[in-house]
Amino acid sequence: MKNYIKHDPWCIIEEGFYPEYNEITESLTSLGNGRMGQRGNFEEQFSGKTLLGNYVAGVFYPDKTRVGWWKNGYPRYFAKVLNACNWIGINVDIEGETLDLATCTVSDYSRVLNMKEGILERTFVATFASGKQVRVHAQRFCSIVDDEAGAIRYSVTPLNFDGTITLTPSLDGDISNKDSNYGEKFWDEIHKETAFGEAYLEMRTKDTPFKTELFNVCTGMKIDILVNGESVDFQSKPVKSAKYVACKIELKAKANEEITLYKYAVNLASLNHALEDLLPNAKAYIARISAKGFKQMKAEHAQAWAERWAQNDIIIEGDSDSRTDAAQQGIRFNIFQLEQTYTGEDARLNIGPKGFTGEKYGGSTYWDTEAYCLPFYLATADQKVARNLLVYRHKHLQKAIENAAMLGFNNGAALYPMVTMTGEECHNEWEITFEEIHRNGAIAYAIHDYIRHTGDESYLAEYGLDVLVGIARFWAQRVNWSADKKKYVMLGITGPNEYENNVNNNWYTNYLAAWCLRYTLSAVNSLQAADSGVQPAVLGTLSEEELTKWQHIVDNMYYPYDAERQVFLQQDGFLDKELLTVEDIKEHRPINQKWSWDRILRSCFIKQADVLQGLYFFEEEFDTETIRRNFDFYEPMTVHESSLSPCVHVIQAAKLGYNEKAYEMYLRTSRLDLDDYNNDTEDGLHITSMAGTWMSVVKGFGGMRIKDGKLAFTPFLPEQWKGYSFRIGFRGQVVRVAVRPGEVEVENLSSQALSLAINGTEITVAAQATEVVKG
């Protein structure tokens, strides 16, 4: 842990310049508004360690796959989140010396991401080789009100000289992805133009052999200059080169005069605008926001953030010490980044693993969305947000059927991809692509989770059943009858624990598959029984024989089990392994960096919850002692080297009364990126696991469940805290739950009474009323 980020309840603070950690800080200070986002890069030129990153939601490129040995069934391309035009650039030149924090002497440096208002701010004093000094103060944001726009206020104050300061705000489209498979660039220039203090650059993704959608993005900027807060006349000299356009502005400055440049920028994508409208709409957008002005834009943006926080904040009370600040900062950082990444307004979008904070892994959609993110949006956002996440998969059903067909499945069997942008599979490691198929189950589970939370049964007929049937058909073909075991088995599986590959009878996947069949059968039954409403067409495609086969699988699935320890076995061969615990290999961690893949695969060590993931999903189907035995067996072997691991363990540890373990895991999930636990924050943030952090508090500490269509809480207060509170949206109502020593306060913020259970006792809270439950 690097520990250079200050503990603060509302801000991410780098105080003093840490150039060696700059890529980490860039990730941590990323900005986004659901439509676009960017890493916390510097506006001015920087020749030190940096990963320049600007991203536009939904814009991707199908890079040519890179594999050692092609295997039949591999997808044709790997869709990459596309690093796009850099619109923040403002080069600063002082009489032949360029401002570059890698070459200047830097003092009084701070970089602060204010999460309360969604503003990134940087101040520093730079001393050039000549001895000239300037103070810089930069502020910027991606507006969540004007969500195709961002704005920058960048001021330079010469401290010990009078002289010429040259500012060159630019739009730079000559950008490549860091992990481009063959070192190629993916953008063509379509158009560029400059006028006085204004510039536009339209780029288009290169044509591809894969016939995927191409995207145009038109980026625009407009500049204004103030000196000591007063508008001044200035000259703007156009600068153009390949995929680059800028305005060069020379200003005479006196010592201690503050020169401020406002840069208004927009990013319009062809996803949202007709091609011929991109440039005119960009111009109109620029005109509108520049007329509104930085101050007003910022105020509206901050106000919108205040409204979001009022809805979604989790407040931790404790001593106002660094420890409480660390916990508070952790959860807020997670909520903030989730809110920046996905707004749920567009069913074509999803929650990329790195959001707008990096480009690693590629694709935008993993099972993370259904298994980890959905609960957050279910409880904190309008119901349509979670519904859009589900509809997204419904839109991809045909592609999932094609994907399964490519592997040899038929009759409408659907295999959702491991990673995707368009519904087509983009992953090409056979042990993941073909075998980590539990993802299919998570998509079915999300339908269950959505309906359970929202009560929106109509979703099943409208969209849900189509997806469930496709998934059920896949499982029914993917299992096979073992004449030896006289059970259905599932061979060649990678479970959530990616530290085992190509195993047989992964308990989690077997259980999930049988559950999917069971859930689909019950959905079919209830829809067949319904005498009103729309009957989904897919019902007509189901034969009695097919349904009987599904039921036979449900009744005869094989589950590996250790009768001696009374635990479920992660897979058939698990007991042949040398069963060590993480304590035995302390100095070898993280094993994914210190061990060969060979050694990892053969070890008992678990990357993330696997059997325990199943017990988390299907908690109601197991008694507590069963969960405890499995937790006690597996958790000590779990290295939590996936960001998605600790949260599930918080929830189960809390349930089992393992309070220390729950708190340890909470810190690990909530401060994963802030403390760079896995030594990879520089690549971007672990966005999807952030929803897991939220679950840690709400489902873990708060013990939130849905039981019989009602909310239920069994809260637990970590001894490190004095209290905490959160809000939950549930079926049109909102409840605030505050946990304090010996009591739970429940505030019903809605206009109707709400019945819910606290520690197993049902209470009814009147509209707008508060109840306190002791004990």
Q: E-strand spans in 420-568?
A: 480-482, 487-489, 561-562, 567-568
Q: Cβ(28)–Cβ(684) under 8 Å?
A: no
Sign of the alpha-carbon dihedral angle for 116, 117, 120, 124 = negative
Is there a binding annotation on residue 45?
A: no
Q: To 10 degrees, the CA torsion angle through 686, 691, 697, 698?
A: -170
Tell the smallest beta-carbon distance from residue 610 to a copy of itself (Å). Answer: 17
Q: Which residue has the tokens 């505050």?
A: 738
Q: What secondary structure letter does DSSP report for 462?
A: I
Comparing CB distances to a copy of itself, the nearer of 8 and 368 is 368
Is there a binding annotation on residue 597?
A: no
Q: For residue 701, which of 744, 639, 750, 764 has the smallest C-alpha distance?
A: 744
d(CA 362, CA 353): 8
Comparing CB distances to a copy of itself, the nearer of 502 and 626 is 502
Sign of the alpha-carbon dihedral angle for 70, 72, 75, 76 = positive
Q: Cβ(53)–Cβ(148) under 8 Å?
A: no
Q: What secondary structure letter does DSSP report for 298?
A: H
Q: What secondary structure letter does DSSP report for 535?
A: P
Comparing CB distances to a copy of itself, the nearer of 288 and 599 is 599
The residue type of 124 is: F
Q: Cβ(491)–Cβ(560) under 8 Å?
A: no
Q: For residue 608, which of 499, 512, 510, 681 has the smallest C-alpha distance?
A: 499
Q: Cβ(578)–Cβ(610) under 8 Å?
A: no
- Taken as a whole, the chain contains a residue count of 775
Comparing CB distances to a copy of itself, the nearer of 78 and 713 is 78
Q: Cβ(40)–Cβ(30) under 8 Å?
A: yes
Tell the smallest beta-carbon distance from residue 266 to a copy of itself (Å). Answer: 36
Tell the smallest beta-carbon distance from residue 211 to a copy of itself (Å). Answer: 22
Tell the smallest beta-carbon distance from residue 272 to a copy of itself (Å). Answer: 32
Comparing CB distances to a copy of itself, the nearer of 305 and 511 is 511
Q: Cβ(357)–Cβ(39) under 8 Å?
A: yes
Tell the smallest beta-carbon distance from residue 416 to a copy of itself (Å). Answer: 15
Tell the smallest beta-carbon distance from residue 613 to a copy of itself (Å). Answer: 21
Comparing CB distances to a copy of itself, the nearer of 276 and 598 is 598
Comparing CB distances to a copy of itself, the nearer of 8 and 641 is 641
Q: Which residue has the tokens 């993704």?
A: 205
Answer yes or no: 498 catalytic: yes
Q: What is the DSSP string of 22-44?
A: HHHHHHHT-EE-SSEEE----SS
Q: What secondary structure letter does DSSP report for 338?
A: H
Q: For residue 709, which of 760, 652, 653, 757 has the smallest C-alpha distance?
A: 757
Which run of H or of E encompasses 606? none
Comparing CB distances to a copy of itself, the nearer of 33 and 433 is 433
Tell me how crowded residue 599 is: count the other CB atoms within 10 A of its CB. 12
Q: Which residue has the tokens 């539990």?
A: 438
Is there a binding annotation on residue 6?
A: no
Is there a binding annotation on residue 607?
A: yes
Task: Point out the catalytic residue in the list 23, 498, 635, 747.
Answer: 498
d(CA 536, CA 730): 27
Tell the smallest beta-carbon distance from residue 205 to a copy of itself (Å). Answer: 22
For binding to a copy of itself (CB under 8 A), which residues are involved? 65-69, 71-74, 78, 182-183, 406-408, 428-431, 434-435, 480-485, 489, 491-492, 501-505, 572-573, 575-579, 592-593, 595-602
- And the tokens for 511? 């259980």
Tell the smallest beta-carbon distance from residue 434 to a copy of itself (Å). Answer: 4
Binding residues: 367-368, 607-608
Binding residues for substrate: 367-368, 607-608
Active site members: 498
